């Protein structure tokens, strides 16, 4: 049985400050993940400040 979403680790996005949860594709790099989406990652310089 797969884990429930509420049992997965979560972080706060560095750009939009929304919480996001662990995804299987981030399994090996979870410590380096900072953004919830590609849009937030691309827009980080425009939103800073």
The pTM (predicted TM-score) of the whole model is 0.74
Q: How many domains does the chain have?
A: 1
Q: Which burial class, exposed, middle or buried, applies to 25 when counting CB atoms under 10 A from its CB (0-12, 13-18, 19+)?
A: exposed
The span from the CA of 42 to the CA of 24, in Å, is: 22
Site of tokens 């090996």? 28
Site of tokens 């997965």? 8
Q: Does residue 41 form part of some domain?
A: no
Contact yes or no for 8/22 (Cβ under 8 A): yes
Q: Does residue 4 form part of some domain?
A: no
Boundaries of domain holding 21: 9-36
pLDDT value at residue 5: 82
| pLDDT tens-digit map of 4-45 | 888 899 999 999 999 999 999 999 999 999 999 999 999 866
Sign, CA torsion 40/41/44/45: negative
Q: Does residue 43 form part of some domain?
A: no
């Amino acid at each position: 049985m797969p884990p429930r979403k509420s049992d997965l680790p979560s972080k706060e996005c560095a750009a939009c400050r929304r919480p996001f949860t662990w995804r299987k594709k981030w399994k090996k790099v979870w410590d380096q993940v900072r953004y919830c989406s590609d849009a937030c990652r691309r827009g980080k310089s425009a939103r800073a400040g």
